[in-house]
């Protein structure tokens, strides 16, 4: 299960090995794993043979609520770009096909659950659902290939390596690399909208696919593209306080056309999941290069997150600048991504314990009654209370497959750092 630890985690592993490992201390870990396995197996059996993946639960929205959250004038607020699902769909399972940007998270969750438990059924399910994504290797019309293939085939390569898996990863990385533009120094994110060349902070998460392709092929051009993208994003996506914009669009000459949001509260707000993508992405850049530039930047983002998130359980509101009201939705997906990133960051930073403690706090919160589903409920998802795109009235206060994925990744990393085995919990 040593995905990222050696050699940087030696100090933390040595320290935690000296701590008491009384079984009662880790009841929350075992509960989180057991609920996850139950929900994943339920969903795998439910969707077997359909060719579909679980994405979320269908939800509607109230226009006045959106206006309050966005602090917009309800008299002039317009219901553009939003579509309510049919009434009979509300509360039911929302699935997606293999070309959806979230398609890789369910197979990836199965891989992590297998890694945590060694359960042979989970291994078989992980292989089955990962294989559904094979046609994505020929897909060129998205930057989200890292999410789709990295989370599925990337974990398969670690846990059940095969030459065919390598071929899928390399071919997909080729397609992602083709979206890189030397003039802007970035990988293009979207092929829609009013922007000339849009790049979103989410794209930092897809760079790991390119790093893996360089290692598999010995061709450093993949990594060079990734690092150029990361450097350009560092220069143009971040404010002086290390919060980031969601969207930066470039002119053809590489200058910035505009800085906006697409899913956050406002153009100058700090969309919660965007901040999580940022600290995760730059932590990966340090892991892959050992260059302290990336580590320093990741720590500054992490410190900002710990300062800006004011909720008692460290699970942020959907936007850091959203009104702090009882009705304001949390985003468990942003919390899960942050927890996983913080745990990895803790193994590199000199003062890593504070990042470990913060990641642990989030995982404990997500493993509590408020966020962790009860087996058989929540349409088979593990976590509750995530927010996809409130701005568009989409997936508000619902489970999301990527929240589940990064929660499980966080548990894998936590177990590694604590030197725990599932059989001993």
Residue 14 has pLDDT above 50, yes or no: no
pLDDT (0 to 100) of residue 358? 98
Residue in 119, 125, 202, 397 annotated catalytic: 202
Mean pLDDT of 261-268: 95
DSSP string, 337-370: HHHHHHHHHHTTSTTTHHHHHHHHHHHHHHTSTT
pLDDT for the residue numbered 23: 52
Given a cut of 80, whether residue 9 has pLDDT beyond it is no
| Percent of the chain residues topping a pLDDT of 90 | 89
Is 86 catalytic? The answer is no
The answer to whether 283 and 296 are in contact (CB under 8 A) is no
Alpha helices in 194-271, H assignment, sequence order: 207-217, 221-236
Residue 16 in this model has a pLDDT that exceeds 60? no
Structure confidence at residue 77 as a pLDDT band (50, 70, 90) = confident
Please identify which of the residues 100, 119, 125, 144 carries the catalytic annotation.
144
**Which residue in this structure is represented by tokens 């579909």?**
52
pTM for this model (two decimals): 0.95
User: What are the contacts of 24-28 at 24+ separation with CB within 8 A?
Assistant: 26/418, 26/420, 26/425, 27/425, 28/363, 28/364, 28/367, 28/368
Q: Is 331 one of the catalytic residues?
A: no
Top pLDDT among 4 and 125 is at 125
- pLDDT score at 80: 58
The pLDDT value recorded for residue 81 is: 58
Average pLDDT over residues 306-326: 97
Predicted confidence (pLDDT) per residue in 384-402, tens digit: 999 999 989 999 999 999 9
Give pLDDT, residue 74.
80
Domains defined along the chain, listed by start:
10-142+150-175+286-424 (1.50.10.10)
Does the pLDDT at position 220 exceed 60? yes
> What is the average per-residue pLDDT within 114-135?
98
Over residues 116-145, mean pLDDT = 97
Intra-chain end-to-end CA distance of the chain, in Å: 16
**Rg of the chain taking only CA atoms, in angstroms:** 20
The answer to whether the CB of 273 falls within 8 A of the CB of 333 is: yes
Give percent above pLDDT 70 in the chain: 94
Q: What does the mean pLDDT of the chain come to?
A: 94
Does 6 score more than 50 pLDDT? no
């Amino acid at each position: 299960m040593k995905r990222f630890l050696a050699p940087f985690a030696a100090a933390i592993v040595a320290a935690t090995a000296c701590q008491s490992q009384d079984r009662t201390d880790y009841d929350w870990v075992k509960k989180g794993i057991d609920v996850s396995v139950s929900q994943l197996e339920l969903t795998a059996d439910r969707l077997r043979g359909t060719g579909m993946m679980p994405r979320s639960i269908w939800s509607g929205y109230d226009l006045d609520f959106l206006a309050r959250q966005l602090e917009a004038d309800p008299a002039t607020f317009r219901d553009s770009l939003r579509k309510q699902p049919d009434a009979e769909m509300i509360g039911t399972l929302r699935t997606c096909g293999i070309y959806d940007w979230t398609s890789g998270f369910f197979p990836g969750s199965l891989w992590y659950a297998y890694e945590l438990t060694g359960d042979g059924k989970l291994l078989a399910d992980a292989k089955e659902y990962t294989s559904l994504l094979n046609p994505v290797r020929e897909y060129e019309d998205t930057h989200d290939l890292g999410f789709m293939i990295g989370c599925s085939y990337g974990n398969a390569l670690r846990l059940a390596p095969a030459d065919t898996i390598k071929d899928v990863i390399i071919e997909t990385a080729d397609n992602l690399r083709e979206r890189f533009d030397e003039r802007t120094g970035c990988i293009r994110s979207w092929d829609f909208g009013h922007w000339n060349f849009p790049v979103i902070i989410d794209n930092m998460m897809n760079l790991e696919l390119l790093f893996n392709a360089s290692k598999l092929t010995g061709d450093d051009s993949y990594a060079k593209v990734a690092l150029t993208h990361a450097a350009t994003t560092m220069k143009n996506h971040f404010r002086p306080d290390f919060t980031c914009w969601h969207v930066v669009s470039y002119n053809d000459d590489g200058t910035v056309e505009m800085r906006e949001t697409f899913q956050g509260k406002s153009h100058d707000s700090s969309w919660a999941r965007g901040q999580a993508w940022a600290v995760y992405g730059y932590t990966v850049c340090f892991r892959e290069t050992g260059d302290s530039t990336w580590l320093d930047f990741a720590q500054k983002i992490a410190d900002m997150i710990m300062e800006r998130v004011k909720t008692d359980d460290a699970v942020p509101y959907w936007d850091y600048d959203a009104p702090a009201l009882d009705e304001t939705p949390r985003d468990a997906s942003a919390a899960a991504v942050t927890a996983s990133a913080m745990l990895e960051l803790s193994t590199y930073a000199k003062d890593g314990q504070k990042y470990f403690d913060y990641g642990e706090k989030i995982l404990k919160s997500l493993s509590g009654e408020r966020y962790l589903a009860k087996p058989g409920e929540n349409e088979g998802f593990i976590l509750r209370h995530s927010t996809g795109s409130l701005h568009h009235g989409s997936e508000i206060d619902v489970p999301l497959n990527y929240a589940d994925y990064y929660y499980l990744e966080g548990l894998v990393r936590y177990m590694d750092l604590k030197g725990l085995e599932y059989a001993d919990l």
